[in-house]
Amino acid sequence: MRQKRVLVIGAGIGGLAAAGALHRQGVEVAVYERSSELGEVGAGLQLGPNAVKVLNALGLEEKLRPLAAEPVDILSLAWDDAHLRMREPLKATSVARYGARYLTAHRADVHRLLQDLVPEAGIHLGARCLRVAASGKGAVAHFADGREIEADAIIGADGIHSVVRESLFGPSPARFTQQVAWRAMVPIDCVPRRVGPGGSVALDPQDYVGWIGPNGHVICYPIRGGAVYNLFIGHVSEQWVEESWTAPSTLADILEAHAGWNEALLEMLSHVKDTYKWGIYDRDPLPQWTRGAITLAGDAAHPMMPTLAQGAAITLEDSYAVARHLAGAADPQVALKAYEAERLTRARKVQLQARQQFQNNRMVPPPPPLSRDWIFEHDATREPAAV
């Protein structure tokens, strides 16, 4: 039997994870990336237990752990007086409750490990895909340099502005979510040790801490073996901001947006050196991801708000699941429909809960966080149980 050939459009976390999983299962795979250099922008990345299960199945968890951190507790603090809204153990309970660790890492470290799963000859850079289309029993990708490359299946892992999605379902604008954000990092010794009324709340630099306010939230956690503190600094805004992770910003912009917030938090933020600002966009859930031998994964299928910290995790789930289906079925089109049937409802539910969590965070006072237990418990590396 001829070996199946799969094309992956996009060499981000989702594209490389899908390609790596396919390669490990003996499927011929090639990745096409429009950028001329392979790299990953951004800073910290939260990897819930559902994501770590995928990394473990790919043989990467043990390699990542020295580069990552494992937060001890998860805390929620009020934006103004820093009183404790919630504290729960994380490190001590994650494996028992969810079947895997909760890790935080630098996005570039995860990206590099995923890249190592794919043979160098299978990654093609400077390849701008213009469109994809059905071709006989398979599919074909058309590139800006005139190449037309056929395959048994194509996976569009090319992000929120996916060319593959547009080829399948037509153009549609992304939705500005009324949230802008900065990504930044500070040395771990900048973390305040006591906050709250009378210094009543002790902070451990190895904790995951969320400062929640009606006009934004600041999420903090350790990365790089616990030596660096990653900051996601969110702000509610009606003003449109470019959807980019590489738009330079300033400390003055951050402090102006968070005027009146807790003094200990502002003191920590004052140590920020380099920061980037971007507008956060998502899309309404799609009713389908697949047409024939072409499907979507990750942000191409379901871009979501970061309020559940599940964008990368659900993408990793998609990537492993699509590889599992393609490797295990004789007919790629049947495999892709089965992949869609397994993944679409779950991704939609996470997308919509992320939107709801954003709205809840803006309430005064905000209600308790929506449960993520059902998200963390999931294991995309296993065949779903028959219903």
3-state DSSP assignment of residue 335 = helix
229 included as an active-site residue: no
165-204 per-position pLDDT tens digit: 999 999 999 999 999 999 999 999 999 999 999 999 999 9
Integer Cα distance of 174 and 184 in angstroms = 25
Buried b (16+ CB within 10 A) or exposed e, 230-267: bbbbbbbbeeebeeeeeeebebebbeebbeebbebbee
17-50 per-position pLDDT tens digit: 999 999 999 999 999 999 998 876 668 999 999 9
3-state DSSP assignment of residue 286 = coil
Residue 240 has a pLDDT of: 65
Q: Which residue among the candidates 98, 102, 208, 221 is catalytic per the annotation?
A: 221
Check: CB of residue 323 under 8 Å from CB of residue 27. yes
Instruction: Record the pTM.
Output: 0.96
270-320 per-position pLDDT tens digit: 999 888 888 899 999 999 999 999 999 999 999 999 999 999 999 999 999
Residue 145: CB atoms within 10 Å: 9
